[in-house]
């Protein structure tokens, strides 16, 4: 698909008519679209707004700078040509410039008179010329140099994918079906992400909230034996199951354990020997700590829920034990007291009975 770049051609007008025509001709011959403001007169603020709009809509800005500074914008005291150039630079517009050589300008003056020289603002023209030459620019002696500069510059700009340009309508691919398919896939992908996030959330925080799951994980942890090195256990090597180590050292794990060099033997033991096994069951997770080189194991929501379930069951068990102890004490007191003697009924003989 061939793109046609729109090129805005800026210059003073009456002194550079032939040069502008050469630039426009070269742009058209290269297969691109020239744009300029020849049909408008300078000096109108609304006209400057229109020029800015044309520059915005063009792909490339080209300046032809001769021996004239051009008409002055009354508020800023700057020529309209320089204002156009400055605006293109401010907008980051791709640009190039061709500047007349001193020898070519002298020849013009000798041939056609001083109308090609700046009489009112020579210092402003000098400064403007220096500004232009500090950016992408080249010198020209005649129209041939201008055509060559247009050809070389536009060849480079045309290869840039960042420039949009213009294309023929029949070369544009109908992207509507493709867009609809992409949208459909994007919607499906979003739904899958939401489903996955929900499942991960349940996996992290939902499992230990169920009593059956707590019992299952607790039973598994009790079967995992952890060797405790002597250097962190008062000089005696020992072992304990992962369940006891987790619940009895909860504060250490909740506060987080790292592999920082200054962490010490105890923290290293928890980081390398305990936490990786707890991570398998989703009770802790390994994370990067911002601003430092080391990593950290932090307890997950599932781990917090597991410990909460453990506390609830421990509390319930203690309550049941206290209740049982009270009942046993009451029973013991009752059984130690003497039994009350029962009164026997005394039968008095009936006086009317025979003796």
Q: Which residues of 184-208 are buried (b: 16+ CB within 10 A; e: fewer)?
A: eeeeeeeeeeeeeeeeeeeebbebb
Q: Render each residue's pLDDT in the chain as its tens digit; 355 residues.
A: 578 999 999 999 889 999 999 999 999 999 999 988 665 554 455 778 888 999 999 999 999 999 999 999 888 899 999 999 999 999 999 999 999 999 999 999 999 898 899 999 999 999 999 999 999 899 999 999 999 999 999 988 888 767 777 655 555 556 777 788 898 888 888 888 888 888 877 666 544 445 668 889 999 999 999 999 998 888 899 999 999 999 999 999 999 999 987 888 899 999 999 999 999 999 999 998 888 888 999 999 999 999 999 999 999 999 999 888 888 777 777 666 665 555 444 444 444 444 3
Report yes or no on 111 lying in a domain: yes
Q: Which of 67, 63, 72 is nearest to 37 (CA)?
A: 63
Per the CB < 8 A criterion, the answer to whether 25 and 150 are in contact is no
Contacts 24+ apart (CB under 8 A), 116-121: 116/15, 116/66, 116/67, 116/68, 117/67, 117/68, 118/67, 118/68, 118/69, 120/69, 121/69, 121/72, 121/79
Per residue in 145-187, pLDDT (tens digit) is 999 999 999 988 888 767 777 655 555 556 777 788 898 888 8
Looking at the structure, tell me whether residues 119 and 216 fall in a common domain: no
Looking at the structure, tell me whether residues 140 and 78 fall in a common domain: yes
Q: Quick count: other Cβ atoms within 10 Å of Cβ 248? A: 10
Looking at the structure, tell me whether residues 221 and 101 fall in a common domain: no
**Residue 188 structural domain:** 176-205
Q: Pick the last residue of a domain from 170, 190, 223.
A: 170
Report yes or no on 1 lying in a domain: no
Question: What CATH number is given to the structural domain containing 92?
Answer: 3.40.50.10140
Q: Pick the last residue of a domain from 170, 185, 220.
A: 170
Total domain count, the chain? 3
Report yes or no on 166 lying in a domain: yes
Looking at the structure, tell me whether residues 122 and 191 fall in a common domain: no
Report yes or no on 320 lying in a domain: no
Looking at the structure, tell me whether residues 201 and 280 fall in a common domain: no
Please report the beta strands in the chain, taking only residues with DSSP state E, as ranges in sequence order.
6-11, 33-35, 60-65, 72-73, 78-79, 95-100, 137-140, 225-228, 238-241, 257-258, 284-288, 295-299
pTM of structure: 0.48
* DSSP code at position 209: G
Looking at the structure, tell me whether residues 10 and 156 fall in a common domain: yes
Q: Terminal CA-to-CA distance of the chain, rounded, Å?
A: 146
Looking at the structure, tell me whether residues 185 and 137 fall in a common domain: no
Per residue in 10-36, pLDDT (tens digit) is 999 889 999 999 999 999 999 999 988
Looking at the structure, tell me whether residues 16 and 128 fall in a common domain: yes
């Amino acid at each position: 698909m061939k793109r046609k770049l729109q090129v805005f051609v800026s210059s003073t007008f009456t002194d550079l008519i032939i040069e502008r025509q050469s630039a426009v001709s070269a742009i058209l011959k290269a297969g691109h679209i020239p744009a300029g403001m020849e049909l408008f007169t300078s000096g109108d603020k609304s006209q400057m707004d229109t020029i800015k709009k044309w520059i915005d809509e063009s792909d490339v800005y080209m300046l032809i700078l001769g021996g004239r500074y051009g008409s002055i914008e009354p508020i800023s005291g700057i020529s309209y040509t320089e204002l156009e150039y400055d605006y293109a630079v401010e907008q980051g517009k791709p640009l190039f410039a061709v500047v007349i050589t001193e020898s070519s300008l002298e020849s013009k003056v000798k041939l056609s008179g001083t109308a090609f020289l700046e009489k009112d603002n020579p210092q402003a023209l000098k400064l403007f010329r220096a500004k232009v030459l500090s950016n992408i620019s080249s010198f020209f002696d005649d129209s041939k140099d201008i055509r060559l500069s247009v050809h070389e510059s536009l060849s480079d700009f045309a290869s840039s994918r960042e420039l949009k340009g213009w294309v023929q309508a029949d070369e544009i691919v109908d992207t509507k079906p493709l867009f609809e398919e992409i949208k459909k896939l994007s919607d499906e992908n979003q739904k899958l992400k939401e489903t996955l996030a929900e499942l991960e959330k349940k996996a992290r925080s939902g499992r230990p909230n169920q009593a059956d799951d707590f019992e299952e994980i607790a039973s598994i942890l009790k079967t995992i034996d952890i060797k405790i090195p002597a250097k962190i256990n008062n000089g005696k090597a020992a072992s304990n199951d992962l369940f006891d180590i987790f619940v009895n050292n909860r504060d250490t794990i909740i506060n987080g354990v790292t592999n920082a060099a200054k962490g010490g033997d105890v923290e290293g033991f928890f980081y390398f020997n305990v936490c990786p096994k707890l991570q398998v069951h989703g009770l802790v997770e390994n994370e990067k700590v911002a601003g430092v080189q080391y990593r950290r194991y932090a307890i997950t929501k599932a781990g917090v829920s597991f410990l909460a379930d453990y506390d609830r069951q421990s509390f319930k068990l203690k309550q049941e034990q206290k209740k049982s102890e009270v009942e046993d004490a009451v029973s013991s007191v009752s059984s130690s007291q003497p039994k009350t003697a029962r009164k026997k009924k005394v039968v008095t003989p009936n006086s009317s009975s025979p003796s």
